[in-house]
Amino acid sequence: MKKKILSAGIAAALTMSLMASTPAVAGKKVLLKVPVWFGTHLTGLGSTPKYVAEHLNAASGGSVKMKIYEPGKLVPPKEILESVSKGQVNAGWSTPGYNTGLLGQKGAIFSAVPFGPDAPEFLAWVNYGEGRQLWQKLYDDAGYNVHSIPCSIIAPETSGWFSKPIDKPEDLDGLRMRFFGLGALVMEKMGVSTSLLSSKEIFPALEKGAIDATEFSMPAIDKLLGFHKILKYNVSELKTTYFPSRVSVWLLSPSGTFHGSSASIFSSVSAVPIWLRMYS
């Protein structure tokens, strides 16, 4: 079984269908100051905001620009949602799964579904099965003044790094492990004590012995964080988890409502005219 994560890559399929319908906002410029949850040095998971920014800037002819701020440079990652809602920043790049304390556990459904669908099935639900409306309703019901745009996807992830082989569920009992989203609830049912740490906190926690194991992303990304230097066993068949947008863009409308047509899930670039209306 594999752990699949949707987060930082859908933007490759770009659509410009809204661009031709925006003569009223021609000549106006918008700067989106975007704090991100993941460092942009993390391939795929963190690098996509820069990719989207590049194409958004080009697609808008310079009318809409994204300036990316590394984690903690503008606001702490855990404060992105509330900062956007309060108008302290006009956009942010994060995921509902990291905000279950604010949105409730149901928020994690839009970041990780244990034993969930594959990417095409999930996107079909988002686009044609009212998933998109439920996603936005998550923020609306919690009282946040934001508009969320699911905008990216990455490849399957593994289930974690361990100091010993994991051959049966009983091998997990008693472990202290960094884990994310609904998957953490699954692990807790098997006797694991879970905690949610940021990418920068994981390696020091392993060094100090504060946790025994961790999951984060795919091996190519985990390698950048050095987990393999401490933990020698990477498990890829522990569970199936689908992350239907580990990263999303939150946008704040000055009036507290969203104006304009819905942005395409396939690319935040298609939201150029929306951003112009919202922030001009």
Amino acid 253: pLDDT: 39
Query: Exposed (0-12), middle (13-18) or buried (19+): which is 101, by Cβ within 10 Å?
Result: exposed
Amino acid 107: pLDDT: 84
Per-residue pLDDT tens, the chain, 280 aa: give them. 334 333 322 222 221 222 222 333 456 788 888 999 889 998 878 888 888 888 888 877 888 888 999 999 999 988 999 998 888 888 888 888 888 889 998 888 887 677 777 777 777 887 789 888 998 899 999 999 888 887 776 666 788 999 999 989 899 999 999 998 888 998 999 999 999 998 889 999 999 999 999 999 888 889 999 999 999 999 875 443 444 333 344 444 333 333 333 333 334 444 445 545 555 5
CB 159 within 8 A of CB 46: no
Beta bridge partners of 243: 5
Amino acid 280: pLDDT: 52
Q: Which residue has the tokens 């969930």?
A: 116
Amino acid 2: pLDDT: 38
End-to-end CA distance of the chain: 48
Cα separation, 224 vs 43, in Å, equals 9
Amino acid 22: pLDDT: 35
Structural domains of the chain, with CATH? 7-99+119-154+245-279 (3.40.190.170), 160-238 (3.40.190.10)
Amino acid 175: pLDDT: 98
Question: What would the two tokens of residue 89 be?
Answer: 């920043």
Indicate the angle between helix axes 131-141 and 119-128, nearest 10 degrees.
70
The model carries a pTM of 0.76
Q: Looking at residue 262, what DSSP letter applies?
A: P
Amino acid 217: pLDDT: 87
